[in-house]
Amino acid sequence: GYHSSFVDEEGVRKACGCPLLPLKSHRNEPDSDAEQEDATSDIVDEAITFFRANVFVKNFDYKSSADRLIIYLTLYINLALKSLEGCRTLAKGKKSIINLGLEKIVIPGEEGFPFPGLFVSPKSQHEPGKF
């Protein structure tokens, strides 16, 4: 599988062992930073880029906590694509993705979490809210 380039973990906060990495913002209004934002990628861009290759990997040898996040994001992208099956219009597709985002997600330490052992269980009751 393909590994994340976000291997520098110095100063990166984590929740349940998952790095809380910055995400690019996508704004519709033009500004001087827009071109620079497009030149860099974030962890979501990596997960989308690597999705095709990583979705077929049975045993992913992760090298950093960002790789763990890539594994989790690969699952979420797969769920998003499945939720779009049968959506014949852009409006239905948007509604499906919004509804997926509103669903309660199972977090590390809860029954049904798809990757037991990949992330550590929360150390406090506030940590899951950051995940």
Residue 101's domain spans which residues? 14-130
- Say how far apart CA 49 and CA 41 lie, in whole Å: 10
Q: Determine, yes or no, domain membership for 8.
A: no
Mean of all residue pLDDT scores within the chain? 83
Contact between residue 108 and residue 88 where contact means Cβ atoms under 8 Å apart: no
H helical segments located in 4-118: 34-39, 43-54, 65-84, 90-102
What pLDDT sits at residue 57? Answer: 79
Give the pLDDT confidence score for residue 43 in this predicted structure: 93
Measured between alpha carbons, how far is 71 from 62 in angstroms, rounded to an integer? 9
Res. 122 pLDDT band, cuts 50 70 90: confident
CB 80 within 8 A of CB 100: yes
Q: Is residue 2 part of a domain?
A: no
CA distances from 91 to 84, 87, 95 (A): 11, 9, 6
**9 within some domain:** no
Residue 3 lies inside a defined structural domain of this protein = no
CATH number, position 60: 1.10.1760.10
Quick one: average pLDDT of 112-130?
A: 79
Average pLDDT over residues 6-32: 78
In a domain, 1, yes or no: no
Q: For residue range 61-118, list pLDDT tens digits in order.
A: 888 889 989 989 999 999 999 999 999 999 999 999 999 999 988 888 888 988 888 8
The structural domain count of the chain equals: 1
